């Protein structure tokens, strides 16, 4: 009986980088959202988006760890027979929906404490309360910030943004693709050897991941080229600037301006890049929509998407050329 080869481990820094792509990021302590948790966690759905998000857009019948609908006080207190209306849509305050206070005006108009409501404490039915609040402090009104519900150290945040969601199986597929894209950098094997892998280990893992990706239908070169993830030569590129990526950039931290250095900076030159941006109504953390891109290019694209960003860049360049700030004559792009 043939023994299955043991796949060598990646260098820790790279392994951690790939693992983190299955987690959410970008939520502060006072946000209602959870930070650095799995993309399969409980999703938060704005009431206005309920119809388009009632089930995941990936074809599954339900969210893996459930959902909580957030309804604003203005919606809740202005809708006639609101509880009946919610019930007809399969919703109930305290079960799978919460009233979410975000402004002091909302708080003063319908103070939940005067209504003898209690803040929610759980992410699954029953939620343990009727509302949550995240109201910033105001200097003009001399008001302290109001944080109610899910504020304890180990219970921060109610859930994740609905457009960040991905099932466990999708997360696994994306991680496999993303590691394979690293191996498709022209210097990847040499780079991992510099970080502790032996030559034969690097070759074994690279070949194993390329084979696994192919077997799972995740290495269609035409699709990857059209998605701006791979070059026509089959090398990994940044989806915005189209420059070929180096494996070293996965390990190298961003350069910092002199006098503005941060000692604990962990941002590397290459980061997770969503080809079509994340947005409500579609689940875009999925195979063939994830790649690696320069940190700076990712910041430039932000939520606008690649095509809209490129149109904006063309407008900016044309304006600078026309006004003589770029040494390119009067040629318009």
Task: List the domain boundaries for the chain.
Answer: 24-164, 168-302
Q: Is the pLDDT of residue 261 over 60?
A: no
For residue 202 the two structure tokens come to 């690097």
CA gap 33, 35 in Å, rounded:
7
> Is it the case that residue 316 has pLDDT exceeding 50?
yes
pLDDT for residue 129 is more than 80:
yes
> Count of CB atoms within 10 A of residue 244's CB?
15
Question: Pick the residue with more confidence: 178 or 262?
Answer: 178
Best mean pLDDT range from 14-28, 76-90, 263-277: 76-90
Tell me which of 146-155, 234-243, 296-305 is least confident: 146-155
Share of the chain above pLDDT 70, in %: 92
Average pLDDT for 233-242:
98
Asked if 165 and 23 touch (Cβ cutoff 8 Å), the reply is no
Task: Write out the two tokens for 236.
Answer: 């990994």
Give pTM, 2 decimals.
Answer: 0.91
Q: Give me the torsion for CA of 35, 58, 306, 255, rounded to 10°.
A: 30
Whether 176 contacts 161, CB under 8 Å: no
CB atoms closer than 10 angstroms to residue 323 = 8
CB-facing half-sphere around the CA of 158: CA atoms within 13 A: 35
Query: Which residues, 6 or more positions from 113, have their beta carbon under 8 angstroms from its beta carbon?
Result: none
The phi, psi pair for 190, rounded to 5°, reads -65, -40
Report whether 186 contacts 222 (CB < 8 A). no
Torsion of CA 316, 320, 321, 323, to 10 degrees: 140
Round to whole Å and give the CA distance between 231 and 289. Answer: 15
Q: Quote the pLDDT of residue 26.
A: 73
| 313 confidence band (pLDDT: 50, 70, 90) | very high
Within the chain, what is the greatest distance between any pair of CA atoms?
76
Say which residue the tokens 């063309």 belong to: 314
DSSP lists the bridge partners of residue 67 as 43
């Amino acid at each position: 009986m043939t023994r299955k080869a043991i796949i060598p481990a990646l260098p820790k820094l790279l392994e951690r980088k790939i693992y983190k792509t299955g987690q959410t990021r970008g939520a502060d302590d006072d946000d209602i959202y959870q930070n650095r948790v799995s993309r399969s966690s409980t999703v938060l759905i704005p009431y206005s988006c309920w119809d388009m998000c009632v089930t995941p857009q990936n074809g599954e019948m339900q969210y893996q760890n459930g959902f909580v609908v957030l309804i604003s006080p203005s919606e809740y207190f202005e809708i006639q027979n609101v509880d009946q209306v919610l019930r007809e849509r399969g919703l109930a305050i305290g079960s799978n929906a919460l009233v979410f206070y975000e402004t002091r005006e909302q708080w003063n108009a319908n103070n939940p404490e005067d209504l003898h409501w209690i803040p929610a404490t759980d992410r699954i039915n029953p939620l343990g309360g009727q509302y949550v609040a995240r109201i910033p402090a105001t200097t003009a009104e001399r008001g302290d910030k109001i944080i109610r519900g899910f504020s304890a150290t180990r219970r921060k945040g109610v859930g994740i943004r609905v457009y960040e969601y991905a099932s466990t199986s999708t997360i696994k597929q994306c991680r496999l693709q993303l590691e394979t894209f690293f191996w498709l950098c022209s210097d990847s094997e040499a780079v991992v050897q510099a970080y502790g892998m032996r030559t034969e280990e690097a070759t074994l893992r690279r070949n194993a991941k390329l084979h696994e990706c192919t077997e799972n239908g995740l290495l269609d070169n035409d699709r990857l080229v059209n998605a701006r993830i791979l070059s026509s030569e089959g090398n990994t590129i940044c989806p915005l600037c189209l420059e070929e990526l180096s494996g070293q950039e996965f390990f190298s931290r961003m350069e910092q301006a002199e006098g503005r250095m941060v000692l604990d900076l962990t941002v590397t030159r290459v980061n997770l890049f969503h080809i079509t941006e994340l947005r409500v109504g579609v689940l875009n953390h999925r195979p063939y929509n994830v790649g690696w891109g320069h940190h700076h290019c990712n910041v430039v694209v932000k939520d606008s998407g690649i095509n809209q960003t490129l149109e904006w860049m063309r407008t900016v360049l044309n304006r600078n050329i026309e006004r003589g700030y770029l040494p390119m004559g009067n040629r318009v792009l």
